[in-house]
Amino acid sequence: MTSPRATVHVNLPGREYDIQIGPGLLEAAGQAIAPLGGRRHVAIITDETVAGLHLKTLQDGLSAAGLTSEALALRAGEATKGWPQLQRSVEWLLDQKVERGDVVIAFGGGVIGDLVGFAAAILRRGVRFVQIPTTLLAQVDSSVGGKTGINAPHGKNLIGAFHQPSLVLADTALLGTLRDRDFLAGYGEVVKYGMLGDAAFFAWLEKTGPALAAGDMDARVQAVTRSCQMKADIVQRDETEQGDRALLNLGHTFCHALEAATGYSDRLLHGEGVAIGCGMAFELSARLGLCSQENPSRVRAHLRMMGMKTDLSDIDGELPDAAALLGLMGQDKKVVAGQLRFILARDIGDAFITSDVPADAVLSVLDDALKQRKMG
């Protein structure tokens, strides 16, 4: 039986690239990267966890196509995504004598992709890079679309650049080495695509989600492909987030406040925050009379069936009060002229962007969720 493979083309004039999706792409990485040109030597930046599991396979795959490589492995985790490791990465790339025509590989999850993409954006005013995402979250979201950056004490992703990759290799076999928790966190971003713009995809996930989580490779390739296709379509329309691209932030205004409240720690992974945030965005939409109450119930029922974090009560430890959480939302990049922008929904698969959300409605959703948490 042949392994399932798919390609999504991101059609940005002058900066087009392919996202290749399927198992076994790591072993064949050299064949995919060699045609990009530049020196026959590539610089890889990864994290220690991924290096231990997969670096040899990647380097063997590069060698098979006549490419030599050097690798820098950073500590795994969100704390890496800041100035110190950015400086370390850029200076290491300069030590490697990386020039403008060369290729840098970002090999890891979202943290590595964002950090290394930003390093590539600013090194010599822009060198090419290849994303080889190793987590579900990175394969369906952060590796596609050219958003790169680091966190600041003031909030996530506040320092960065738009810098599109030259190629994305999403090897779905790598998903088999993820902890269940990390796989499900990534699934939060997959299901988000169904909620924001494809009701049929959401219904397919309701049916196929358990098989996908259990390791069904065809289902995994299909889910990653549909997610990447939806993201590519939106990025092609609005690369620098002047309009439609903000739809991809469904659930993120709540999510970023919750991540800040939990100190960007292991208490809440990004994809878990997205899942909880999507439930809250649908709850807010229902309270504002935009969609039926059945929508938030259906969203939460699916997340719960998948064994995911669904409500604030699923977050361990202390959380600030509703007013403080609303204040944390004000630090988000989705603030325009002091107005919070929310992605709300008229139905599953029909999201829209609005700044016309009364603060007291947001406070009541947060307040009720916190009360429910205390009761739980």
Give catalytic residue positions.
125, 147, 189, 231, 241, 245, 249, 252, 256, 270
The CA distance from 366 to 354, in Å, is 19
Quick one: which H or E segment has residue 157?
strand 155-162
Q: What is d(CA 45, CA 23) in angstroms, rounded to the nearest whole number?
A: 22
Query: How deeply is 307 buried, as exposed, middle or buried, from its count of CB atoms within 10 A (0-12, 13-18, 19+)?
Result: middle
> What phi and psi, each to the nearest 5 degrees, are found at residue 149?
160, 180
Residue 198 has which token pair? Answer: 């494809």
Q: What is the DSSP letter of 341?
A: P
Residue with tokens 């990025």: 235
Give 121's DSSP letter. H
**Residues forming a β-bridge with 160:** 149
Q: How far apart are CA 130 and CA 353, in angstroms?
A: 31
The DSSP line for 60-115 is: HHHHTTT-EEEEEEEPPSGGGSSHHHHHHHHHHHHHTT--TTSEEEEEESHHHHHH
Helices (H), the chain: 29-33, 48-50, 56-63, 83-95, 110-122, 136-137, 180-197, 199-214, 217-237, 252-261, 270-287, 294-305, 322-329, 359-375
Q: Which residue has the tokens 């196509």?
A: 65
Could you tell me if 343 and 251 are in contact, meaning their C-beta atoms sit under 8 angstroms apart?
yes
Q: How many CB atoms lie within 10 A of CB 327?
A: 13
Tokens 């002091």 sit on residue? 338
Alpha-carbon span 198 to 101, nearest angstrom: 39
